[in-house]
Structure 1
Amino acid sequence: FPHLSVGGNLAFGLPPGVPRAERRRRVEAALASAGLAGMAARDPATLSGGQRSRVALLRALLSEPRALLLDEPFNRLDASLRADFRRLVFDHGRERRLPTLLVTHDPADAAAAGGPVIELGTPEGPVRHRVRRGIGPGA
């Protein structure tokens, strides 16, 4: 939401009824967990694409969803941030037992998700459905 600050964007995702002080605490904690501490007052237009992506994902996580649908959520992040942010998002989902559907072209994203994987072929070629019970370590 371009008319809100970064903190306002995150607070918007919080469920109604959360007291103001608690909203502020959750926003600051979320920003710190994503390497964005101290950016609550910033205008979203001043953020890089990767920073905006992290704010959008944090807003989704703060909304306490009953499921997550993630479409290429990490593709705008620098390689150095991807592993940490994947861990943050997927750990959040696992801790809350959230059903998560991830659409990605990056095998590392799929491995980090740690769940069943369905691979589909290209529209031009024959489609082969392969279901695997995870492709990460220990799978």
Structure 2
Amino acid sequence: MLRGADVHLVVSETEDQVLVSWAQRSYYEELLEAGVEVQLYQASFLHAKSLTIDDHIGLVGTSNMDIRSFALNAEHILVIHDPGMTGRLKTEQQRYIANCRSLDLQQWRQRPFWIKLGEHLARLTSPLL
């Protein structure tokens, strides 16, 4: 990353909504190019939302980072400002990563054209999802 941050994005490899999944995947190449490690969780469907910043701040909750979640769904995020609890959350995140496979940028670019096209068409609907 530009500022030396170690960023892991853990997303479920199993999809629950095809259109949402395809729209989501349309962003992977840009993320990989920026240095984000995209990890595909394989153990089951993963719907967890959490974030840790250094060893001091954690966020966990139900909210997706989109306008629908903020304005319509009344979802919530808990901000943790405690190194002990943040450490426990970070341990759980490491457990998720242990059950992932990493995306490789060069390999990702090799997916078939029709899949790329479908992802980019789905991306057009992402503001509505």
TM-score (norm 1): 0.24
Structure with greater Cα Rg: 1
More strand, by proportion = 2
